[in-house]
Structure 1
Amino acid sequence: MARHEASASAAAAAPGVDFHLPDEILAVIPTNPYEQLDVARKITSMAIASRVSRLEADAARLRRDLADRDRAEAELRARLADSDARLAAALDENAKLAKERDSLAATTKRLARNLAKVLAF
């Protein structure tokens, strides 16, 4: 209780200063201003360490997410390359079949003309 009274009197000594600290905290805060600053420094260090730890965890999670997306992108690019290769092969086959069709059509015309000549004799 002596610390509480000292802290309360210190707060009362500073006019217009009201920190709204609970009695439980006021009871354990040192009365010496330098000791108070040391406690504040330790609390600040703990808060910063906690924040840094949380940010590092977030960064690790984001790196994992990025790696997952990179893998998905690589997979999609591989599938796209495969699809492009199959499309090119299909177009090439289509062109060959079109040439063969045209050749067969020309042969059919020629044979039809020859048949007409033979039947005319």
Structure 2
Amino acid sequence: MKELQRNDVYRWMEKGPIPEILPQLEEFGNQIKNGGLTTSQIRQVFSKMKAIEAKGFEGQRAAFLMIKPLMAYAAARHQKAKGLQSLKTKASWGIDAVFAGGEAEEAGRFKNFCKFFEAILAYHRAAGGK
């Protein structure tokens, strides 16, 4: 199976959930579970993302962008957790994709990022992530 690539992440952010990418996300969820990513690590990012979603993206652009350094810090603290490193990479691609292109489309791309991250979390849990 083809590994999840940057262009796949960008397409998801632009168009929303893409059925042919779901198997790649499922495999990625399994990889990050096997790489030692814990549910509490992924939930830290997920809870920040959901708080931004609840407040509205337009007023929370900076808070969303700050997820990148938060993940970089967490990945540096837990260097043995290769799953966290992988999640940081894919999430960073997604955050970059949200801000790529026009500002008018950012809110829609942010919603697509939320769906993307929710899918990763769900597949991580389905793979037995703890």
After TM superposition, the score normalised by the length of structure 2 is 0.24
More helix by share: 1
**Larger Rg computed on CA atoms:** 1
Which structure carries more relative contact order (alpha carbon 8 Å, separation 6+)?
2
